[in-house]
Structure 1
Amino acid sequence: MKTILILTSNDAPQFKVEPIQELHAVMAEAGYDVVYPDSKCDALKLIEQNPRVAAVLFDWDDFGLALCSEISNLNEKLPLFGFANQNTVLDVSLTELRLNLNFFEYHLDQSEDIFVTIDQGIRAYVDDIVPPFTKALFKYVESNKYTFCTPGHLGGSAFLKSPVGSVFYDFYGPNVFKADVSVSMPELGSLLDHSGPHREAEEYIAKVFNATNSYIVTNGTSTANKIVGMFAAPAGSTIMVDRNCHKSLTHLMMMSNVTPIYFRPTRNAYGILGGIPKSEFTREVIEEKIAETPNATWPTYAVVTNSTYDGLLYNTEWIKKTLDVKHMHFDSAWVPYTNFHPMYQGKYGMSGETVPGKVVYETQSTHKLLAAFSQASMIHIKGQVDHETFNESFMMHTSTSPQYGIVASTEVAAAMMKGNAGRRLIENSVERALNFRKEIKKLRTETKGWFFDVWQPDTIDGPDCWPLKPTDGWHGFKNIDADHMYLDPIKVTVLTPGMSKQGTLEDTGIPASIVSKYLDDHGIVVEKTGPYNLLFLFSIGIDKSKSLKLLRTLTEFKRGYDLNLKVKVMLPSLYNEHPSFYEDMRIQDLAQGIHKLMRKFNLPEMMYHAFEVLPQQEMTPHQAFQRVLKDQTEEVYVEELVGQVNANMILPYPPGVPLVLPGEVITEDSVAVLDFLLMLIEVGKHYPGFDTDIHGAYKQDDGRYKVKVIKR
């Protein structure tokens, strides 16, 4: 951090200019970049947009306490140095002196002494903002120790003994390898024992995220979910699982001998994952599910996906008070930022106070929408647990050689969200998402013919999580509860033409998969592609230029589509994969061909029924997986699946949640599930390159799909 701002008036008298020029020379010699903002507004913009600003020097006579307050709103820890005339009266109260503020007088020949104080303030600032484990890791790397332990590359030196290793080393740079160290370093503590700087890091994170305790997980929220589940659901117990669960929770049920009963969520015609109705959380409905499930007892553990993939958040305070389960787990992989904006209050697991007699867990993918390395994840706990036993579950799933770079990035992600600077990051993210939404609506109004739309309420005001009201038609969900579900503005779902808000397919349409391929060819990766919708995540890493590029590329797609360009021009990657099929095809023919198939299969009705009735549970996922391990399975074609006990989960992407779980049977009552799978396969047959990725179904040489079932 080597940038210092100096803010003075343009007509400053010479007795002020000369000491500043003298100090500038000393700071420049020490390696600092000195910048002179044109105005107070310019200075504030520089602080907001340049996180490397390490200090601000300003004329107290001209700017005073008002400037300090505005800077504090952006970053209350930033060192401020006010220069004042010796005759100036400093009327500053004790409360105001709580700012990180120091004063100097304008004097010549004192620049060396003044710089020492400024440099000390900057070093103290950096020391203050760097969290404990990261600080210890930096210190270890700077010590440059010789080690005779793992990892074998020994700070990168092994790579430098090989030509290809040298290329690899040069790509990443030295500190990546120097910071990749062994658990044998006592000064860094232990992630498995939660000792030393590791323990300090987790205590630091817990405070930032409003948790009783927090744990750093270095293998993603898939692992975090299994750690929580293994602890909270002992063998033989009954658990309640969101049917929209991530596949890691299905894997938990396959690993652990538990009996699942399921929360039944909703879908709308767009295929957007809805929430679990309020009734599903009541004792009456849970008792009915227990009565219908062999060997089921009252559940000890429940897991709810919050938010859903598409950005729907629950009224978690209501769920925590209503659901009569001791261990309550919110899988919040997609929303690690909710603690840092007031609009999310009451809509996430760690919100509010501890619930007497209950333990609330929240698992978060730090790497998804905060700034951390891939696989960085966190477990937050609110309430009291036996931490020695919990740590046994933690160690079952955690490497004894964790990547310390991931640990540090998790801690830094938390440090970035502390205080006013973190609040501004989320505010900016929300603001960019709102601006993008408004631009889409504006273009839709101004553009001739068709344009894209956004899935949101008809009227959006300032930053807010918008409630899904039973009386509103925009969301497309049937019989939705009031004061229960809210749309996160950061998750932006863009709608393509072809489906009405009421869920009926129109005469013409543009399936979203075509737009997704076009965006990919132009360097834009979509988070999720539905039949007629595209999901974009406006994380803190999205800036105005990226948002504008997305808008521009969407308008360019419209232009090319309206000109009815050839597929080879519009979608070159698709054409290169299948040139003979797409040689003379035009983009409108491709869109209407796929849309016609959707109409033929009546996609909205088919999707609704596919998720309306669950397959019959013949055995638990654990029992089914044991049969798989004992090689008691066989393969059948997908169309022969009715009446068979499924061996693996079947998971079409999108939406990326299990459709059929291990041990379940598709019966005549749930045949709509099979019809939906066959429809997805049929589209891929007609149009190469538009196959749906279906986990658990294996494409054969003849183009048909097989699945594993349990031998009878």
Structure 2
Amino acid sequence: MNDIAQPATNELNRVFAAAIAREDQWRQLNAYARAWADAKSGTDAREEIRGKCRKLLANISRLEHCWAYPGTRLLDSLRGSLEGGDATAFARLVQKASAALQSGDFRREDAAWDTNADGDTRVIDAMPPDIDGGVGKPYFEVLIVTPSDPAQWQRADDEVRRMRRPEDQFQYVPVHVGSFEDAALAVMVNTNIQSVVLVDGFQYASKHDLPDLREFLKRNMDVDQGSVEPGALSTRLAQAINGFRPELDLFLLSDRTPELLAASDEAACIRRVFHNIEEPMELHLAILDGIKDRFETPYFDNLKKYATRPIGTFHALPIARGKSVFGSNWIRDMGHFYGTNILFAESSATTGGLDSLLEPTGNIKKMQDATARAFGAKLAFLGTNGTSTSNKIVVQAICKPGDIVIVDRNCHKSHHYGMVLSGAQPYYVEAFPLVQYSMYGAVPLRTIKKALLDCKAEGNLDRVKVIDMTNCTFDGHMYNPRRVMEECLAIKPDLVFLWDEAWFGFARFNPLHRARTAMGAAAALTRRYRSKAYRDEYNAWKEKSANLDDNALLDAHGMPDPDKVRIRVYQTNSTHKSMSAFRQGSMMLVWDDDWGQVEGPFKEAFFAHTSTSPNLQLLASLDLARRQMELEGYALTMRMTELALRLRKTINSHPLISKYFRVATPADMIPPEFRESGISDYGPPHGSWADMIHAWHNDEFALDPTRITLICGAAGFDGTQFKGILASDFDIQINKTSRNSVLVQTNINNTHSDAALLIKALADLSRDIDKRLEQGGQAERAAFDARVKSLMTDVPDLPNFSRFQDAFRDNAKARSNEGNMRPAFFLSYDADNCEYVRLDSEEVERRLKEGPEMVSAHFVIPYPPGFPIMVPGQVITADTITFMRKLDVKEIHGYQHALGLKLIKPEVLAGKSFSSTR
């Protein structure tokens, strides 16, 4: 028999991958079990395979107590048949368990739990029954942390089954553990868990043989036995679980005084406190009610009801109810393609339970509240025209004319246009360059702090209103928002932060990414600054740092005054980019201690940019995206992260593919001075999950592994060309490209089959290149090497922002570099104010050397790299011209090759000042 590939390790330092590794291992055990059953009796080969079954089952069993299925009965039967030498029974039971885990039948069918029923060999349905289809109820698991004897746990399970009622909307199965450590581990690995019941009196330490468990929990949940006070195990465990998976409902059963316990700060994260187990049915109903709160989609539910009503429409939307479509001789195919529901659920009315997006009082208001809860914000607003519009709403709401905004020059164009609209003055700061890939990274904290301190030196610190950054960037660079905000607030304690997390909305739903989010940082800093421990820490720092000047503060970790600091954070996210929402679905999340000052301007900006006729289906999809992420976001985001790590490792270690293609690592994408941990790549053999978590908690920048920069230049393809090949030859869609790379973005929609498709495409292309070079001789090799050199070595330098022309600055000699784009932008509306100079003309060279200065009349944005290399009012310098001349991209917004650069005429600016708008 050919040896079967060994399963992935299930070491605890890869515990975040345990759920996926678990399914892999059950499939592997199924292969071993069949091989054992088929082997000839009495042979050495048969006993060898049986040994492999024994070893793998033991490895699987290390963590099986964290899941309800297959459960004690099936596992005991498995072990009995294995040790009794009954290969047929063992194979049947393993087949049953493996198939049920893969298909999810254990969620729907009682037979999957029966040790006597045959194994399931059905083909998995491509479209499983829907919730309303009458086949099964949504299934979840409830973790019960209890001091009771494990011998009683099966009896407790049976009691839970007896409490089930036909009218229950959901169905759950308990998972029992007896210790703090086992509970923490189960919450990490079991994505089916939706509720946790804590029964006072359980112990701390696990009785399972998991020697590395304690260190792992300390790293990932900040839990150490020595830090837990006697008598506080239940509330401390509740706090730890809430910090790791805040979506879970927590219940406490205690024989202590429940009235006092329920009112304590320690129990604030607990949904309900019960007096011991005197009300089992009330606990059952409370568990179901908690799921119902997350499951409810106020807007979508009302839209479904609206679509079933017999309504006569006398408003301005002929397509509503579909009569103009289904009664047509010419567009009836539209109705056949989209179906009836989408037309029956259309309206331009805000009555009938549909509510108004502009003045929500009903189900949209409930939807906003649920969104804020799910994403960890104080307030949430819904965007129906993409995050481009959401960014403009927020910028216009928090900025007024004359305010200074310290902003990443490489941020999305919507931020720049928002400042034109609001009259705010951008102070552009530069991200670190990645010249070899023709892209920028993120803005170093020291650069941001220097901009603040330069404004302070010029007496303009009071005008600095906002820090505006992109997190994470298109290419996956994640800031450390908690660190950035703390050190900036130490310089100016009332700063507002706008974090554009267009690509990062999913990050709330797993602890790995959450620590790098704006809302996660806002919550953490709020807790920190309100604590006595921080006040003591601040007083000690203040005494030690009393004589620090601004130069020293630039490199010191400053601490804001707890009596003055305000947490003012806004986050925008493109829900449609990383969750199950229709295109243009966006959210604006708010955590602002001074919301009362902003509420009026925010509503005005919202009114200004939001359509009075929003797409109802888009709104409903935002509601559903929130539901999905609250109930299964943890599972989905952890799986997509694991898939991305597998892709990275496979491509970079494959002997053929890696000759021509490579995934850029954290060492490639983040300079070492911003990667204090020294981590070079994610996953074995470069490091463990624990190493990755340590880097993400502490490094200035980290790289989101789900955003894969695939270097294609070594294969002789530029990014645009390679994107086209993947689309035309392999049906693989890619969005962003650079000069020599494409961005492969894994998301909650991707499967292992998708990953295999990409790997197959890269392998096929690599074989074709090998064959072409082998058959083409020296000439082909020389041409190929020249092409690779042009893409990988002869890359143009990336231009930095130069400066605003003096006419658009308050003080041309100031160290701070803010400027007023708004008047420059509108000067270009009058053709008489502008001139054109061709990029290849001698006039460009003359003016660079002799003057007068060339001043851009509007934005110029090449794709790629996708950031504005010119903005209105910017002085154009030689490095920008050089970069423009080396560009070989076809799409450059704001530039017409036939006309050349659009400039503001020198005489329009001579002796004039357009800077002051205060």
Cα distance change on mapping 1:346 and 1:277 into 2, 3 Å: same
SS at match of 1:163: coil
Cα offsets for 1:166-218 (capped at 9, x unmatched) = 11121111111122222332412111112200000010010000000011100
Cα distance change on mapping 1:127 and 1:202 into 2, 3 Å: closer
Query: How many residue pairs get matched?
Result: 587
Deviates more, 1:264-273 or 1:192-201: 264-273
Following superposition, the deviation at residue 422 of structure 1 comes to 1.7
1:711 to 905, 908, 914: 905
Tell me how far apart the structure 2 counterparts of residues 79 and 163 of structure 1 sit (CA, whole Å): 49
Contact 1:56 1:80 in 2 (8 A): no
| Amino acid corresponding to residue 354 of structure 2 in structure 1 | L
Alignment correspondent of 2:100? 43
Alignment correspondent of 2:634? 423
SS at match of 2:767: helix
SS at match of 1:399: coil
Following superposition, the deviation at residue 436 of structure 1 comes to 0.8
Alignment correspondent of 1:211? 377
Alignment correspondent of 1:694? 892
Contact 1:617 1:665 in 2 (8 A): no
Aligned identity (percent) is 26
* Residue 339 of structure 2 is aligned to residue 173 of structure 1: yes
Alignment correspondent of 2:438? 271
Alignment correspondent of 1:78? 139
2:731 to 514, 523, 536: 523
Following superposition, the deviation at residue 664 of structure 1 comes to 0.5
* Residue 846 of structure 2 is aligned to residue 637 of structure 1: no
Where structure 1 has 5 or more consecutive residues not aligned to the other structure, the ranges are 1-5, 11-35, 64-74, 82-88, 105-113, 460-465, 476-480, 499-507, 567-585, 684-690
* Residue 571 of structure 2 is aligned to residue 382 of structure 1: no
| Amino acid corresponding to residue 347 of structure 1 in structure 2 | R
Following superposition, the deviation at residue 91 of structure 1 comes to 4.5
Cα distance change on mapping 1:90 and 1:489 into 2, 3 Å: same
Cα offsets for 1:297-322 (capped at 9, x unmatched) = 63112211111111010111011212
Tell me how far apart the structure 2 counterparts of residues 527 and 226 of structure 1 sit (CA, whole Å): 23
Deviates more, 1:450-459 or 1:362-371: 450-459
1:407 to 619, 624, 630: 619
Cα distance change on mapping 1:382 and 1:126 into 2, 3 Å: closer
Tell me how far apart the structure 2 counterparts of residues 449 and 307 of structure 1 sit (CA, whole Å): 27
Alignment correspondent of 1:336? 505
| Amino acid corresponding to residue 837 of structure 2 in structure 1 | V
Following superposition, the deviation at residue 458 of structure 1 comes to 7.2
Cα distance change on mapping 1:560 and 1:598 into 2, 3 Å: closer
Cα offsets for 1:565-584 (capped at 9, x unmatched) = 99xxxxxxxxxxxxxxxxxx
Alignment correspondent of 1:158? 324
Tell me how far apart the structure 2 counterparts of residues 167 and 527 of structure 1 sit (CA, whole Å): 30
Tell me how far apart the structure 1 counterparts of residues 678 and 657 of structure 2 sit (CA, whole Å): 31
Alignment correspondent of 2:298? 132
| Amino acid corresponding to residue 102 of structure 2 in structure 1 | K
Counterpart mapping for 1:317-328 below 5 A = 317-323=482-488, 324=492, 325-328=494-497
Counterpart mapping for 1:536-551 below 5 A = 536-551=744-759
Cα distance change on mapping 1:470 and 1:427 into 2, 3 Å: closer
Contact 2:657 2:763 in 1 (8 A): no
Tell me how far apart the structure 2 counterparts of residues 271 and 101 of structure 1 sit (CA, whole Å): 60
Following superposition, the deviation at residue 474 of structure 1 comes to 7.9
Deviates more, 1:380-389 or 1:409-418: 380-389
| Amino acid corresponding to residue 303 of structure 2 in structure 1 | L
SS at match of 2:337: helix
Tell me how far apart the structure 2 counterparts of residues 438 and 612 of structure 1 sit (CA, whole Å): 37
Cα distance change on mapping 1:180 and 1:292 into 2, 3 Å: farther
| Amino acid corresponding to residue 427 of structure 1 in structure 2 | M
Cα offsets for 1:401-445 (capped at 9, x unmatched) = 1111111111111111114x22111111011111111111221xx
Alignment correspondent of 1:462? none
Alignment correspondent of 1:238? 404
Alignment correspondent of 1:301? 466
Deviates more, 1:655-664 or 1:155-164: 155-164
SS at match of 1:551: helix
Q: Which has the larger radius of gyration?
A: 2
Tell me how far apart the structure 1 counterparts of residues 141 and 567 of structure 2 sit (CA, whole Å): 46
Tell me how far apart the structure 1 counterparts of residues 510 and 329 of structure 2 sit (CA, whole Å): 49
Cα distance change on mapping 1:422 and 1:616 into 2, 3 Å: same
Contact 1:7 1:56 in 2 (8 A): no
Cα offsets for 1:472-524 (capped at 9, x unmatched) = 7889xxxxx982100011011112354xxxxxxxxx95544443332122222
Following superposition, the deviation at residue 676 of structure 1 comes to 0.5
Deviates more, 1:272-281 or 1:349-358: 349-358
Alignment correspondent of 2:604? 392
Cα distance change on mapping 1:79 and 1:265 into 2, 3 Å: closer
Deviates more, 1:523-532 or 1:533-542: 523-532
* Residue 425 of structure 2 is aligned to residue 229 of structure 1: no
Following superposition, the deviation at residue 78 of structure 1 comes to 1.4
Following superposition, the deviation at residue 616 of structure 1 comes to 5.3
Tell me how far apart the structure 2 counterparts of residues 129 and 470 of structure 1 sit (CA, whole Å): 40
Following superposition, the deviation at residue 59 of structure 1 comes to 8.0
SS at match of 2:505: coil
Contact 2:384 2:585 in 1 (8 A): yes
SS at match of 2:406: strand
2:709 to 482, 487, 493: 493
Alignment correspondent of 1:653? 863
Cα offsets for 1:444-471 (capped at 9, x unmatched) = xx22982311111479xxxxxx983486
Tell me how far apart the structure 1 counterparts of residues 610 and 317 of structure 2 sit (CA, whole Å): 17
Counterpart mapping for 1:62-141 below 5 A = 78=139, 91=152, 101-103=160-162, 116=166, 129-141=295-307
Tell me how far apart the structure 1 counterparts of residues 411 and 335 of structure 2 sit (CA, whole Å): 40
Q: TM-score, normalised by structure 2?
A: 0.58
* Residue 874 of structure 2 is aligned to residue 664 of structure 1: yes
Moved over 6 A (4+): 6-10, 118-128, 290-293, 472-475, 586-590
Counterpart mapping for 1:609-624 below 5 A = 610-611=799-800, 618-619=807-808, 620-624=820-824
Following superposition, the deviation at residue 587 of structure 1 comes to 8.3
| Amino acid corresponding to residue 609 of structure 2 in structure 1 | H
Cα distance change on mapping 1:351 and 1:590 into 2, 3 Å: farther
Following superposition, the deviation at residue 92 of structure 1 comes to 5.5
Deviates more, 1:383-392 or 1:646-655: 383-392
Cα distance change on mapping 1:327 and 1:144 into 2, 3 Å: farther
Contact 2:651 2:658 in 1 (8 A): no
Specify which structure has the higher proportion of helix: 2
* Residue 280 of structure 2 is aligned to residue 280 of structure 1: no
SS at match of 2:722: helix
Tell me how far apart the structure 2 counterparts of residues 616 and 76 of structure 1 sit (CA, whole Å): 65
| Amino acid corresponding to residue 626 of structure 1 in structure 2 | F
* Residue 885 of structure 2 is aligned to residue 678 of structure 1: yes
Tell me how far apart the structure 2 counterparts of residues 127 and 260 of structure 1 sit (CA, whole Å): 43
Following superposition, the deviation at residue 154 of structure 1 comes to 2.3
Cα distance change on mapping 1:359 and 1:117 into 2, 3 Å: closer
Following superposition, the deviation at residue 152 of structure 1 comes to 1.9
Following superposition, the deviation at residue 41 of structure 1 comes to 3.6
Following superposition, the deviation at residue 161 of structure 1 comes to 3.0
SS at match of 1:664: coil
Following superposition, the deviation at residue 614 of structure 1 comes to 5.5
Cα offsets for 1:665-706 (capped at 9, x unmatched) = 113xxx1111011111xx4xxxxxxx3311111132xxxx62
Tell me how far apart the structure 2 counterparts of residues 469 and 422 of structure 1 sit (CA, whole Å): 30
Tell me how far apart the structure 2 counterparts of residues 528 and 120 of structure 1 sit (CA, whole Å): 41
Cα distance change on mapping 1:298 and 1:451 into 2, 3 Å: same
Cα distance change on mapping 1:296 and 1:458 into 2, 3 Å: closer
